[in-house]
A and B are shown apart, each in its own frame.
Chain A
Amino acid sequence: MLHTINKSPFQNSALESCLRFTHEGDCVLLMEDGVYGAIPGTAKSDLVASALGRKIQVFALGADLKARALKETIDGVQITDYAGFVDLVVENKVHSWL
């Protein structure tokens, strides 16, 4: 199962809700404004950190991180590119948390 998040965790509850409905082995891809959920040292960093602790794989789209000058990500977050995005979509059923 792949969950995609494209909104900042400071803007709405998509990331928080999504993580409540995920379990071990699920993948979460942070993209567009969703990548703000992948950076350390914010009030929302614990969301992703605890998901990683539950063996949920978290990906962030590199192009979106770069575009927002976000250089650091939470330990364990995997940076991916558009080809990786496509692979994730092919390998999983997708739910977009719009």
Chain B
Amino acid sequence: MSEESKKKIMFTVRKPPHGTIYVYEGLEVKLIMAAYDADISVVFMDDGVYALKAGQDTKELGIKGFEATYGVLVDYEIQKVFVDRQSMEERGLTEEDLLVIGEDEDTEEPIRPRMVDSAEIAAMMAQQHNILSF
């Protein structure tokens, strides 16, 4: 299927991880949708940016956690992962705090979510066929 004819689906993630099941369920849905060859983009905003903080250790919570899954998003053809700059700044987070979503095929450099401004996110939203919030 050509890039143009694919269904454009955006996921917005606005909740912090682990307190609720939203972030985890959202990740599952993204992987399912990606299997159907959709053009997926993901935007983390508000407390959702905390879901991208590297070094999450959920052992003592008795749950599996999802950092490892995020680490292979690129392998699932989910490369358009964005994070809202203002939400990051409000929470004292910088680009270096973000987990890795895969590595570049050629250079093997780690790929991290891309920080963008709200205007850019608004413009991307306007281009979607569907937006799902988690």
A interface with B by C-beta (< 8 Å)? 1, 13-14, 17, 20-23, 93-98
Indicate if the CB atoms of A21 and B125 lie closer than 8 Å: yes
The answer for the CA separation of A61 and B87 in the assembled complex, in Å, is 29
| Contact partner, A95, options B12, B46, B118, B119, Cβ 8 Å | B12
Residues of A within 8 A of B61 (CB): none
Whether A20 contacts B86 in the complex (CB less than 8 A), given A1-B126, A13-B46, A97-B14, comes out as yes
Residues of A within 8 A of B87 (CB): 17
Those of B20-64 within 8 Å (CB) of chain A = 45-46
Indicate if the CB atoms of A17 and B14 lie closer than 8 Å: yes
Count B interface residues, CB 8 Å: 17
Whether A20 contacts B118 in the complex (CB less than 8 A), given A95-B12, A97-B133, comes out as yes
Q: List 17 A-B contacts (CB under 8 A).
A: A1-B125, A13-B46, A17-B87, A20-B86, A20-B118, A21-B45, A21-B121, A21-B125, A93-B126, A93-B128, A93-B129, A93-B131, A95-B125, A95-B131, A96-B133, A97-B133, A98-B133
Given contacts A20-B86, A93-B131, 15 further A-B contacts (CB under 8 A): A1-B126, A17-B46, A20-B118, A21-B121, A21-B125, A22-B122, A23-B119, A93-B126, A93-B128, A93-B129, A94-B131, A95-B125, A95-B131, A95-B133, A96-B133
Residues of A within 8 A of B94 (CB): none
Residues of A within 8 A of B121 (CB): 21
B interface with A by C-beta (< 8 Å)? 12, 14, 45-46, 86-87, 118-119, 121-122, 125-126, 128-131, 133
Residues of B within 8 A of A96 (CB): 133
| Contact partner, B118, options A14, A21, A93, Cβ 8 Å | A21
From residue A82, how far is it (CB to closest CB) to chain B in Å? 22
Residues of B within 8 A of A94 (CB): 131
The answer for the CA separation of A14 and B45 in the assembled complex, in Å, is 11
When C-beta atoms are compared, the residue in chain A nearest to B12 turns out to be A95
From residue A24, how far is it (CB to closest CB) to chain B in Å? 10
**A-B complex: 8 closest residue pairs judged by Cβ atoms:** A95-B131, A21-B122, A20-B118, A98-B133, A17-B46, A21-B118, A23-B122, A96-B133
